[in-house]
Chains A and B, each alone.
Chain A
Amino acid sequence: MASNHGNTNSEPATNEQIITEFFAKSLHIILESRCPYVSSRNYSGEQVLSSPSSSSSSSSIFWPRDKWFNLALKDCSAALENIDFWRQSYLEPMVVDVVLVQRSSNWDPLNCSPKRALVRNLSSKERYYWNSENDEYRNEVMSEKIIERWVVEYESKKCSNIGGGGGGSGSKRWSSTSSHTLYKKSTLLLRSLYVTVRLLPAYKLFRDLISSAQIGMYNLGHRVSSFVEPFTHTEEAEMQRFVFTPLDTACGRLCLSVLYRSSISDVSSEPSTPMSPQFIPDYVGSPMADPLKTFPSGPLPQGSPSFSHLGRRHSWSYDLYKASPPSGIPSPSPSYSESHATFAKPHSYRLPPTGGTRHLPDETPQEHVKNTNYDEYSPSPNFSMSPSPSPPTYTPGIHISNALKRSESAPVSIPAIRASGIPPLFYNQMLPPSPPLRPSKSSLAKMDCRSTLLQAGSTVDKIFPFGKDEAGRLTGVKISSNSSPQKSISRSSSRLSFPDDYDESEFSGPFVVDEDDMTDPGSRPGSFDPVGNPCGQNDHLGVSAVKKSQDAAVGALVCMLKKAPPLQQDLQNSANLLHGSRPEILKATTIDPNQISGQPVMQQSAAMSSAASLLAPKTTADALEELHGYAVMKNSLLKQGGDHKHT
């Protein structure tokens, strides 16, 4: 291939452009098949209806970047946002680490500690984090492992004499490095890269993650940096290396290689909890499942008597699913949140510049994990998560700006509920062992399962104070075009965010007692006593009326039935008791006036009829009628509870 002296001056520039675009394209190819949250995004702006794993050749729209190396790829925001550094200078190597984050639960309530703790293993790339936030339920051990390390680098050397080109060897050398040749070989190399990334074991993990409703015990994250800590001999021995044939240019050599673990395929086959955020109306402890079941009493603030059962995992997921934000940020289930805890774990690699490293303070400074890029967390507009039961598909690249605004954007004024979208593990990684933080909002303190996230939210202020100035974006370590050569650390994960407005009324039992009702002892259902003798619990019921909503009424009914006078009792005594109890009956029916529409009238009539029946001579029929009246009353009370649940 003869050289064109006319284009001699433009050849180096063209080669540089080819090399720069090669970095971008290679990063795009790698992250497209390793980032679970950006891979499902459709081609932005294109009328493509293809699935994330396939594309249609009928699409005629190609972005300008697609035409580089004639390879049109799916949109990958993580790649687009992490390449800025290398667009400025491709002389720094680009190292892409694909990290496998695994979680293992260990139920050990005896060893629970109310404090978070960090257990780290600094000897290797595996890091373990122990989270005992939900110490009522389990301890979690997180581990990270680099399963792939892609290295793209341009080894520069003394440029050959390109001015001549007249000599045979010179022309031959020039022909081997002409732009056309370089472009062709780069195209071939990228084709091979595209195929290779799909043959490595990590691709299977990636596909499992993006598959529907598969919430496993692992997640994939990535780091893009220009300098990383090399593997130890032991670690490298466990990995295999694949080196693509370098491309020689006039001034250097373009190299691409990968170190990968071949023994990770068993991760995806581990038993996972196929959880999907489905609506569970009859979860354990729900009134619908067992209306007469007594809810466990716990420390509850006033005004929220129905949240005692929110400490249960099922109710937590139920709650969250009911009130997931419409923007599509996934609502976590108990296991889902755990997985999202792993997903958000990559946040740990987002370090403030003062933090230095993404890991512990005693990490070697060689780990130049400085720049973090949160853009991969940006919610995708195509994200299909809905508040109603739907599987957490992890689909989309979540726009980091929106996600952060929801959860981290305003570090100073982040409401705890918003900040609770960030899993606690992220902050476990960020901070050294520290005492637990208080939730910033008392309304959330009642939710034990959310306490960890609240603490995480409170921690945001401490971690990202620098990010306050950037329009709500935590970009203190973000790579920008104006920044000095820094590393770009980014992880893809989902954003675990709690719904901002969970529906408190959903957890109100049918006999929930408001605060106003609590202040009126006469209105308490438990105060009714036809015998005139308190059931022995009226005073106690008054004290615990907040907790006993439905139970109180049922208990009152049972008590009433127990204390009901015999059929042949003195009618005068019965009349006196009825007169005294009638106001209580009427008040009891007004516990929840918003929920009970026509019920008070019915109950009153039933009470009146039953009272009238006591005055007349008792017969078997009368007794049966009285019993029927009691049964009607009971059914009405139960129905109230059911109606109130469905509203």
Chain B
Amino acid sequence: MNCEVCQLKELVSLGPPEPRQEVEHIEVREVLRCILHTILFHRALGLVRPKDVDLELFDITYVQCGDVEHEKKINEKIDHFIDRVEKHPNKKNQICLSFYEVKNKQATWFTNKVERHYWEQWYINLNTVQHPKTHSGKSHHPKVVVDPGETASEERNARRTALESSLREVLFQIIKFVNEKKDHVPPIPNLDGVSFPYEITISSSSDSAFGMDMLKRMLQTGHPTMLS
């Protein structure tokens, strides 16, 4: 069975002006939470009671499958992602949501191979741009002191508007992908909620390593892996 890969459109988020400003990471949290839950909802083919969630920063309502455990797991991964963003600012970061099937091989006394067969992978590309520093200190013209703040605010609003538009595009991209490719989805197991096991991995781009990470991951598709 083939593994379908979907590279979602890159999103650009404005990072916080200062590190460890939790309040400013809400933009990243909202975007990732929206995308991850939307994908999961499409793959939660068991009995679910959808939960509509309104984003705080954007005029978008996304859908969760209503499973608290999955919500918690996603929040943890988002926290890890934010830590990665803070450690590697101004870098393109990527979250990979992979669905797999578990194929147990014959276990021996020494090994217990569990083969994972990835049948779908979603790559969420999020570029966190550092917040532009505002002017500080003396200025010969009082108005200049005010304008940079307003300019930064206007810039932030413009970026947020653009981010919302991009987020909508990404959501529709997910919908189209889910509609166009259905044959690779395994049969629906007799489970409630999220039907298929999945994993979320985080990677950040570097000049040379980012592409290699993607290539490595694609080569690993279909091969037994023990990713955490």
A residues engaging B (CB < 8 A)? 1, 53-57, 59, 62, 66-67, 70-73, 176, 180, 183-185, 187-189, 191-192, 194-196, 198-199, 203-204, 207, 242, 244-245
Residues in B with CB closer than 8 Å to A245 are 179-180, 182
Residue of B52, B59, B60 ringed by the most chain A CB atoms within 10 A: B52
Query: Bound state CA distance, A114 and B41, in angstroms?
Result: 56
Selected contact of B47 from candidates A55, A67, A176, A195, CB within 8 Å: A67
Residues in B with CB closer than 8 Å to A187 are 45, 188
Contact B45 A188 (CB under 8 A): yes
Query: Bound state CA distance, A59 and B38, in angstroms?
Result: 21
Can you name 7 A-B residue pairings with CB atoms under 8 Å?
Answer: A53-B54, A56-B51, A184-B185, A188-B42, A191-B178, A195-B62, A199-B60
Residues in A with CB closer than 8 Å to B63 are 194-195, 198
Residues in A with CB closer than 8 Å to B44 are 191
Give the distance to chain A from B123, nearest Cβ to Cβ, in Å. 19
B residues engaging A (CB < 8 A)? 38, 41-42, 44-54, 59-63, 65-68, 168, 171-172, 174-175, 178-180, 182-183, 185, 187-188, 192-193
Residues in B with CB closer than 8 Å to A55 are 49-52, 66
Contact A195 B66 (CB under 8 A): no
Query: Bound state CA distance, A457 and B139, in angstroms?
Result: 73
Query: Bound state CA distance, A245 and B178, in angstroms?
Result: 9
Residues in A with CB closer than 8 Å to B60 are 199
User: Which partner residue on chain B sits nearest A189 by CB separation?
Assistant: B179
Residue of A53, A67, A184, A204 ringed by the most chain B CB atoms within 10 A: A184
Selected contact of B42 from candidates A1, A67, A191, A204, CB within 8 Å: A191
Contact A54 B175 (CB under 8 A): no
Contact B180 A54 (CB under 8 A): no
Residues in A with CB closer than 8 Å to B41 are 191, 194-195
Contact B187 A204 (CB under 8 A): no
Query: Bound state CA distance, A204 and B187, in angstroms?
Result: 35
Query: Bound state CA distance, A192 and B44, in angstroms?
Result: 12
Contact B178 A72 (CB under 8 A): no
Selected contact of B66 from candidates A57, A67, A194, A203, CB within 8 Å: A57
Contact A184 B171 (CB under 8 A): no
User: Which partner residue on chain A sits nearest B67 by CB separation?
Assistant: A57
Contact B62 A66 (CB under 8 A): no
Residues in B with CB closer than 8 Å to A196 are 175
Contact B52 A54 (CB under 8 A): yes
Contact B182 A198 (CB under 8 A): no
Contact B171 A199 (CB under 8 A): yes
Query: Bound state CA distance, A236 and B174, in angstroms?
Result: 25
Residues in B with CB closer than 8 Å to A185 are 182
Contact A54 B45 (CB under 8 A): no
Contact B61 A203 (CB under 8 A): yes
Contact A72 B179 (CB under 8 A): no
Contact B45 A184 (CB under 8 A): yes
Query: Bound state CA distance, A73 and B66, in angstroms?
Result: 12
Taking A57-B49, A183-B188, A195-B41 as given, write out 4 further A-B residue pairs in contact, using a Cβ cutoff of 8 Å, ordered by the A residue number: A57-B51, A73-B50, A184-B185, A194-B41
Residues in B with CB closer than 8 Å to A184 are 45, 182, 185, 187-188
Residues in B with CB closer than 8 Å to A191 are 41-42, 44-45, 178
User: For chain A, what secondary structure do more than half of its interface residues adopt (helix, strand, loop), or is it mixed?
Assistant: helix
Contact B49 A59 (CB under 8 A): yes
Residues in A with CB closer than 8 Å to B172 are 199, 242
Give the distance to chain B from A265, nearest Cβ to Cβ, in Å. 8
User: Which partner residue on chain B sits nearest A61 by CB separation?
Assistant: B49
Residues in B with CB closer than 8 Å to A203 are 61
Contact A192 B47 (CB under 8 A): no
Contact A56 B66 (CB under 8 A): yes
Contact B185 A188 (CB under 8 A): yes
User: Which partner residue on chain A sits nearest B54 by CB separation?
Assistant: A53
Query: Bound state CA distance, A239 and B199, in angstroms?
Result: 39
Give the distance to chain A from B135, nearest Cβ to Cβ, in Å. 34
User: Which partner residue on chain B sits nearest A183 by CB separation?
Assistant: B188
Query: Bound state CA distance, A176 and B45, in angstroms?
Result: 18
Give the distance to chain A from B7, nearest Cβ to Cβ, in Å. 19
Query: Bound state CA distance, A71 and B65, in angstroms?
Result: 10
Residues in A with CB closer than 8 Å to B192 are 70
Residues in B with CB closer than 8 Å to A194 are 41, 50, 63
Give the distance to chain A from B107, nearest Cβ to Cβ, in Å. 28
Contact B52 A192 (CB under 8 A): no
Residue of B49, B62, B187 ringed by the most chain A CB atoms within 10 A: B49
Give the distance to chain B from A275, nearest Cβ to Cβ, in Å. 24
User: Which partner residue on chain B sits nearest A51 by CB separation?
Assistant: B52
Contact B187 A180 (CB under 8 A): yes
Query: Bound state CA distance, A54 and B61, in angstroms?
Result: 11
Give the distance to chain A from B9, nearest Cβ to Cβ, in Å. 15
Contact A195 B38 (CB under 8 A): yes
Query: Bound state CA distance, A37 and B35, in angstroms?
Result: 30
Contact A199 B178 (CB under 8 A): no
Give the distance to chain B from A69, nearest Cβ to Cβ, in Å. 9
Contact A70 B171 (CB under 8 A): no
Residues in B with CB closer than 8 Å to A66 are 47, 49
Give the distance to chain B from A55, nearest Cβ to Cβ, in Å. 5
Residues in B with CB closer than 8 Å to A188 are 42, 45, 178-179, 182, 185
Contact A57 B168 (CB under 8 A): no
Query: Bound state CA distance, A538 and B168, in angstroms?
Result: 76
Contact B175 A198 (CB under 8 A): no
Query: Bound state CA distance, A53 and B63, in angstroms?
Result: 10
Residues in A with CB closer than 8 Å to B180 are 245
Give the distance to chain A from B62, nearest Cβ to Cβ, in Å. 7
User: Which partner residue on chain A sits nearest B193 by CB separation?
Assistant: A57
Contact B50 A207 (CB under 8 A): no
Query: Bound state CA distance, A187 and B188, in angstroms?
Result: 10
Residue of A70, A187, A189, A203 ringed by the most chain B CB atoms within 10 A: A70
Query: Bound state CA distance, A255 and B48, in angstroms?
Result: 24
Contact A195 B185 (CB under 8 A): no
Contact B48 A71 (CB under 8 A): yes
Give the distance to chain B from A50, nearest Cβ to Cβ, in Å. 8
Give the distance to chain B from A588, nearest Cβ to Cβ, in Å. 63
Residues in A with CB closer than 8 Å to B45 are 70, 184, 187-188, 191
Residues in A with CB closer than 8 Å to B183 are 176
Query: Bound state CA distance, A56 and B48, in angstroms?
Result: 10
Residues in B with CB closer than 8 Å to A57 are 48-49, 51, 65-68, 193
Contact of A204 with B54 at beta-carbon distance under 8 Å, contacts A56-B66, A57-B66 already known:
no
Query: Bound state CA distance, A62 and B48, in angstroms?
Result: 10
Contact A244 B52 (CB under 8 A): no
Selected contact of B179 from candidates A62, A183, A192, CB within 8 Å: A192
Query: Bound state CA distance, A207 and B168, in angstroms?
Result: 18
Give the distance to chain B from A58, nearest Cβ to Cβ, in Å. 8
Query: Bound state CA distance, A70 and B178, in angstroms?
Result: 17
Contact of A53 with B52 at beta-carbon distance under 8 Å, contacts A195-B42, A198-B62 already known:
yes
3 tightest A-B contacts by CB? A57-B66, A245-B179, A72-B49
